[in-house]
């Protein structure tokens, strides 16, 4: 009986697909990896196979792509899990560790830690308002998630400060600004949820206060970094300001599109706040353009950075609210919010395999049947402790990964 349930779960997991946001994240990581200089990689990143040394940093993106493609959907299924779910250990001990291994620079690591902090906050929102009664286990799960958030937020802040001290003030501004935007947006969301759920008000406000502490801390780091950029005579402020202008314009348009897309699914107050953030972003962007024309590049940079922050806050508020999928115990009847599967269907064409054979071959009907199991095979094993092992035969060798936090690779060349 237990085996049948597990088989059914894995079969359903094979139909899980990446959302547009997840695809964008992976694309950004791979592009960053391709563009970066890996000549200074440490010896500890080298692996030996058939008397040849291979830089692991060069094959890590390939490993990640292969695992996501051939692991039977288990890794992808874990991405949407919450603390306490069966596959949540896969999410934090495997998926996130593999993703973190791709952060080869302090800038990338700071961004990743900020991303993890944001994930933990979103998990906390869903956990807190899920309607489950407080038990010893649920309280521990919530406290553990808060602790993970604080570790990730503190790591991101320390890395941003390290960038500033290392003379990378502009990189510190970028890293600290993104974290600040995320923390402030989520603080607003917790406050709003506390207004909607009187029964959970004390709990939600307590979390909001913890978030504010870190938001204030990163704001100080950001202010110092901005001042360093303005004081640095060697920095090409004009180039930095023009680059930030393009980023601000892209983020503003993306925030507008997301708001237009999910407008009907938003709480009226959340919609109003998102619109206010976008309006503030537009005003800051316009001021930046004026400063740029006047060749006042320091002010232009600050305006564009402010525009970026407002746009990101609006985008986060809309995205998180839509993803909550909860009953907020409102007196007014609300439409059901779209599920992860619905949003994935909206974001990409249906690529579900037409047969079990296509799932087993891992080709989604791509016409490579002639390779068969001889060249490519995959396996996923789970035990009761949520440990997992994924194996992939690629034709040139086999990749084996243990989803208990450790990863190993055996690659034939």
Mean per-residue pLDDT, 360-388: 41
Of 264, 159, 141, residue with least CA distance to 221: 159
Report d(CA 291, CA 298) in Å as an integer.
8
Query: For position 133, what pLDDT does the model report?
Result: 72
pLDDT single digits (tens) 324-357: 755 454 434 444 444 444 544 544 444 444 444 4
Query: For position 67, what pLDDT does the model report?
Result: 55
Mean per-residue pLDDT, 260-281: 94
Backbone phi, psi, residue 49, to 5°: -150, 120
Sign of the CA dihedral with 114 first, then 116, 122, and 127 last: negative
Of 168, 64, 189, residue with least CA distance to 126: 189
Full-prediction pTM beyond 0.95?
no
Q: Is 310 exposed, middle or buried (0-12, 13-18, 19+ CB in 10 A)?
A: buried
Mean per-residue pLDDT, 271-290: 96
Task: Please state which of the ranges 63-77, 147-161, 213-227 shows the lowest mean pLDDT.
Answer: 63-77
Q: Assess whether pLDDT exceeds 60 at residue 378.
A: no
Question: Of residues 385 and 307, which shows the higher confidence score?
Answer: 307
Query: For position 205, what pLDDT does the model report?
Result: 93
Share of the chain above pLDDT 90, in %: 40
Residues in the chain, how many?
413
Per the rule left: phi > 0, alpha: psi between -120 and 50, beta: everything else, 131 is left
Report d(CA 175, CA 250) in Å as an integer.
18
Residue 396 binned pLDDT confidence (cut-offs 50, 70, 90): very low
Q: How many helices (H) and strands (E) does the chain have?
A: 16, 5
Residue 306 binned pLDDT confidence (cut-offs 50, 70, 90): very high
pLDDT single digits (tens) 16-67: 555 555 556 555 555 555 554 444 444 434 333 444 444 555 555 555 555 5
Q: Assess whether pLDDT exceeds 80 at residue 265.
A: yes
Residue 7 binned pLDDT confidence (cut-offs 50, 70, 90): low
Query: For position 296, what pLDDT does the model report?
Result: 93
Query: For position 24, what pLDDT does the model report?
Result: 60
């Amino acid at each position: 009986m237990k085996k049948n349930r597990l088989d059914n779960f894995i079969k359903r997991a094979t139909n899980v697909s990446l959302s547009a946001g997840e695809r964008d994240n992976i694309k950004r990581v791979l592009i960053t990896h391709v563009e970066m200089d890996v000549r200074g990689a440490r010896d500890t990143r080298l692996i030996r196979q058939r008397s040849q040394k291979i830089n692991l940093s060069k094959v890590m993106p390939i490993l990640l792509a292969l695992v996501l493609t051939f692991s039977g959907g288990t890794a992808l299924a874990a991405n949407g899990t919450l603390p306490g779910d069966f596959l949540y250990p896969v999410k934090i001990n495997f998926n996130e560790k593999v993703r973190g291994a791709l952060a080869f620079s302090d800038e990338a690591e700071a961004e990743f830690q900020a991303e993890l902090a944001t994930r933990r906050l979103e998990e906390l929102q869903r956990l807190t308002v899920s309607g489950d009664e407080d038990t010893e286990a649920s309280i521990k799960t919530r406290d553990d998630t808060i602790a993970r958030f604080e570790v990730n937020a503190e790591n991101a802040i320390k890395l941003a400060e390290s960038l500033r001290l290392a003379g990378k003030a502009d990189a510190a501004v970028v890293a600290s600004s993104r974290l600040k935007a995320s923390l402030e947006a989520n603080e607003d969301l917790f406050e709003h949820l506390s207004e909607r759920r009187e029964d959970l008000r004390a709990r939600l406000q307590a979390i909001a206060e913890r978030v504010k502490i870190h938001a204030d801390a990163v704001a100080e780091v950001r202010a110092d970094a901005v001042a360093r950029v303005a004081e640095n005579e060697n920095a090409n402020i004009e180039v930095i300001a023009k680059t930030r202008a393009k980023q601000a314009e892209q983020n503003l348009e993306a925030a507008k599109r997301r708001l237009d897309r999910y407008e009907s699914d938003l709480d009226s107050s959340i919609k109003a706040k998102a619109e206010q953030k976008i309006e503030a972003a537009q005003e800051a962007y316009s001021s930046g353009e004026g400063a740029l024309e006047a060749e006042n590049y320091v002010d232009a940079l600050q305006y564009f950075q402010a525009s970026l922050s407002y746009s990101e806050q609006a985008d986060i508020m809309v995205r998180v609210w839509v993803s909550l999928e909860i009953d907020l115990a409102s007196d007014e009847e609300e439409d059901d919010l779209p599920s992860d599967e619905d949003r994935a269907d909206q974001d990409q064409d249906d690529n579900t395999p037409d047969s079990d054979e296509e799932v087993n071959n891992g080709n989604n009907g791509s016409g490579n049947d002639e390779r068969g199991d001889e060249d490519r095979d995959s396996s996923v094993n789970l035990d009761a402790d949520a440990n997992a092992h994924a194996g992939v035969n690629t034709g040139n060798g086999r990749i084996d990964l243990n989803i208990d936090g450790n990863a190993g690779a055996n690659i034939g060349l």
